[in-house]
Structure 1
Amino acid sequence: MLKPLALAGLILTAAGVSQAEPRPERHAQVLLDALREISGVPGMGAAVWQGDRLRWQGSSGLRDIEQRLPVQGDTRFRLASVSKPFAAVAAAQLRVQGRLDVDGALGPLLPELEPTLAALTPRLLAAHLSGLPHYEARDAGRGGSHHATARSSLGYLKDRTLRSVPGSRYLYSSWGYTLLAAAAEAAGGKPYLELLATRVAPGLAIGPDETGRSSAMTKAYDFGVMGLHEAAPHDYSYSWGGAGLAGTAPALAEWGGRLLQGRVVDVATRDWMWQPVLDNAGQPVGERTYKMGFGWRLDTDAEGQKTVHHAGVTAGARSVLLMWPQGRDAGTSVSLLSNAMWTSSIERSAELLSAPLRAPLPGLQPQPCPVEVSRFEGELDGAALAGRARFRRDADGLCRGELGLPAALARVVNPGPQPAADKLAVIGLQGELARAALVTPIGLADWRAQADGSVLVDNLASRRLAIRLQQ
């Protein structure tokens, strides 16, 4: 008969086993490797910037499967929609210089626009309030030609019908950022990529996506019915502002650090960007858990600290930049980049990936590494489940475990397109297993020990998972 695991019964005196927690940098690398392995993504890069320095840079897996070339610190990944904040920052810089009225109509800057688009404003575009649609069926061939400037791609917007009255509701649109980048280009008097290199992200390994044209780039992969395959060629120059950039994980994290320090735009402008934009009814706009600022998503972490972030997904990429502007972790910037499209809770994954390098959480319920367990029972949204479990301490003293995957939980964490897993990993974050990361194909979820000996797991596709470990 299985008996609930009594915390007091776990004695941490195994001969020759160190109970010291590993170095934070090593800890973060273990998390990155585990996430990359269970997701099936070929390669990942990540970095944490704190204060005025790069605290950690991690690389995992391959940038080129065929040639078995590893991801390195200087490997560039597609940023996908993490490109959008760069266009927003370009517009904010021009606002400070008095060269761009963010509430003024675009028509005087871009006289080639049709009247409906000419009446839009940069603020509407940056907050996805313009009414412009996202990609439509007519856009299927959009990656087949190259554009030297942002403005030269405005032909794609000809005869576009707005989906809603401007300012009335949030409607995500990458085409809105094609238009915002063109407006910045016109107001700045320079090609958009020159603005990026000289004013927005000078000296950083961030620039146009050159997948297939530059050895600095990782190859881009997608999951198909036969497994991984190289993504079809796609030229993102039609949307430098919306999806067309690439960069290294350290460069992206450093750019976030510069923003936090007020080195890209002044602090007042930064804070202005990080205020919710209001719709015509005076209500803040956004979706899921975040509100939308001027090009940025305004959110909170698991502890209620304010965060600012943006994520992206496209063929051959999944990406995020996450920052803490205030609170216990103020000054921290985290990047997480990958070279395949996969379904993930990537913002929370970046949050947990960086946890070993951030301030430890107070008030956690102690839970030593449960090396004696063999099973778990629990509930997923109230429905019972059970499976096998085992835990160990690795050579660094890190508590690590495996959970078998019951069918009900498998349906949550195996949505595809990445390969389905048959088990999940657990990696301690703090206090052995007081806090841990549950490593799943859809990202890292937050494992917290409870006073009654159970565990609650948060950030698992908005589901509630309770676990009780058993001997």
Structure 2
Amino acid sequence: MHKPLAVTLLVLAAHAQASPERHAQALLDALRDASGVPGMSAAVWQDGRLRWQGTSGWRDVQAQLPVQADTRFRLASVSKLFAATAAAQLKAQGKLAVDQPVGALLPELDKTWAATTPRLLAAHLSGMPHYEWRDAMRGGTHYATARESLVQLKGREPKSAPGTAYLYSSWGYTLLAAAAEGAAGQPYLTLLRERVAPGLAIGPDETDRSAAMSRAYEYTKAGVQPAPAHDYSYSWGGAGLAASAPALAEWGGRVLQGRVVDPATRDWMWQPVLNNAGQPVGERGFRMGFGWRLDSDADGRRTVHHAGVTLGARSVLLLWPEAATSVSLLSNAMWTSAIERSAELISAPFRPAVAGLAPRACPLQATRFDGELNGAPVQGTARFRRDADGRCRGELSLPAALAPVVNPGPQPAADKLVVIGLQDDLARAALVTPIGLADWRAQADGSVRVDVAGRRLVLRFAA
């Protein structure tokens, strides 16, 4: 007669063990497993300190070396945040005029680009091209400074008139880093080490040259293989840096605290940059500030961020200015990912619960589901359980209509999806897919709604 009480006490004890740190680690492990990425690392900085750092998988698959907290990963385009913030720091010091032509700082610069300004470069309004067919062999030459790499800009043609159109350009950040170098009177990497990120495990990409670095991987027909060597010194400012996840999250925290640039300059960076017509610019729902993407999370709270993708890397740094929270998520392979939303959900255990959600108990008796994907019917099998920490976890068969969305490659395709409860059993959860974590919300009618890569998935469960 006491068995139900004993079971209840065991469940309550398990729930008590599910700390935010263990919850975040479970999400990170599930994400790495679903994506097939060899290794990942993530960290959350909040309210003045590093709250959590997590690792999953391998930094070296062949040698079976696990990712460690201090393992560095390629940052890819997250590197752009450092070039923009270095330029903002120099602006605050009166050393760099962001609306003056960069040619005055760089007499060696191709005259085609001499009239562009740091503000236009930082907001991708300069008209400079991104990578082109001629860049297929980039990464074969080493440059000691950002100014040396300006030879890469010779002979390139503008794609639009300055200030007229948002055109994403990593070459623009090659030039922005060189302008910072000219204004500071010291090499860009020295500026980074001494002024922008002092004391942090952030610096040039040294893949295959430093034991602190993860190896870089790519997906092939033979499976995950080491990626070919690539020298990113042609764009220290655009794609050439590396960091550990804790160091990157800590740097984001320093920015929030006004320790990298003063608060007024930080807030200036987070204002939309306007084109010649006086309109804000951006893409995919965000507006462009001075190097930072200005956005909001699934609940409308303001975020600023930047993500990156390159050979052997997928990365993101995401900040909540009003919540004093910074989260980093790094990986050692190029994979298709909704990485900003994944970072949101990995950090969710450390942020306040979402108010007003419909209650949803773990459906332990469920065996199937039906529902709709953007209005088209879907159905499949389901199974739920509680894990050792008391979390509600589920496994769903992958509906055929959803398969092309979550299995675009290059990572391995999946035939199932995992659910991990986040709040009040399944009032909120993460749906774990090969392209990242998707936000699951219970609805008042007993269904759940999941936003998966811009598609609305509605599910109902039955025994």
Query: Structure 2 length normalisation: TM-score?
Result: 0.97
Alignment of 1:51-450 (within 5 A): 51-326=47-322, 330-450=323-443
Segment of structure 1 superposing worse, 443-452 or 19-28: 19-28
Contact in 2 for aligned 1:42/1:63 (Cα 8 Å): yes
Matched, 1:462 2:454: yes
Q: Which amino acid aligns with 1:172?
A: Y
TM superposition shift of 1:268: 0.2
How many correspondences in the alignment? 457
Deviates more, 1:239-248 or 1:135-144: 135-144
Aligned counterparts of 1:377 and 1:85: Cα–Cα separation in 2: 43
| Structure 1 letter corresponding to 2:429 | A
1 CA distance for matches of 2:421 and 2:5?
15
Instruction: For residues 173-207 of structure 1, give each alpha carbon's deviation from its aligned partner in whole angstroms, at most 9, with x where no partner exists.
Output: 00000000000001000000000000000000000
Aligned-partner Cα distance in 2 for 1:13–1:164: 70
**CA RMSD for the aligned pairs?**
1.1
Runs of 4+ in 1 over 2 A off after TM superposition: 11-17
Matches of 1:112 and 1:145, distance apart in 2: 19
User: Which string of whole-angstrom CA distances, capped at 9 and with x for unpartnered residues, describes residues 429-470 of structure 1?
Assistant: 000110000000000000001111100002x11101000011
Distance 2:359 2:212 in 1: 45
The Cα offsets for residues 207-262 of structure 1, whole Å up to 9 and x where unpaired, read as 00000000000000011122111111000001000000000000000000000000
Deviation of residue 400 (structure 1)?
0.4
Range 14-23 or range 273-282, more displaced: 14-23
Q: Which amino acid aligns with 1:369?
A: C
Q: C-alpha distance in 2, partners of 1:12/1:369?
A: 18
In structure 1, C-alpha distance between the alignment counterparts of 2:112 and 2:6, rounded to whole Å? 72
Opposite residue 295 of structure 1, the aligned amino acid is G
CA–CA separation in structure 2 for the residues paired with 1:401 and 1:14: 20
Q: Measure how far apart 1:18 and its partner are.
A: 1.4
Matches of 1:457 and 1:14, distance apart in 2? 31
Structure 1 residue 15, shift from structure 2 partner? 5.2
Structure 2 residue matching 1:130: 3-state secondary structure: coil
Instruction: Report if aligned partners of 1:445, 1:457 keep a CA contact under 8 Å in 2.
Output: yes
Q: Hey, what's the Cα distance between the residues in 2 that align with 1:227 and 1:114?
A: 43
The structure-2 alpha-carbon separation of the partners of 1:244 and 1:393, relative to structure 1 and needing over 3 Å to count, comes to: same
Normalising by structure 1, report the TM-score. Answer: 0.96
Whole-Å separation in 1 of the counterparts to 2:44 and 2:196: 20
Q: How much identity, in percent, do the aligned residues show?
A: 73
8 Å Cα contact 1:106/1:121 also seen in 2: yes
Measured after TM superposition, the shift of residue 359 of structure 1 is 1.0
Q: Could you give the per-residue CA deviations for residues 76-130 of structure 1, whole angstroms, max 9, x where no partner exists?
A: 0000000001000110011011111000001110111222200000000000000
How many angstroms apart in 2 are the aligned matches of 1:101 and 1:405? 54
- Report how far residue 284 of structure 1 moved: 0.1
Which residue type is aligned with residue 46 of structure 1? A
What's the CA shift for 1:145? 1.1
Unpaired segments ≥5 residues, structure 2: none
Q: Distance in 1 between matches of 2:293 and 2:188?
A: 23
The amino acid across from 2:431 in the alignment is L
The 1:385–1:120 alpha-carbon spacing in structure 2 relative to 1, beyond 3 Å, is: same
Provide the rounded CA distance (Å) in 2 between the counterparts of 1:198 and 1:43: 30
Provide the C-alpha distance between the structure 1 equivalents of 2:206 and 2:326, rounded to a whole number of angstroms. Answer: 25
Counterpart in the other structure of 1:6: none
SS in 2 for 1:408: coil
Q: Report deviation, 1:13.
A: 8.8
19-28 vs 215-224, which moves further: 19-28
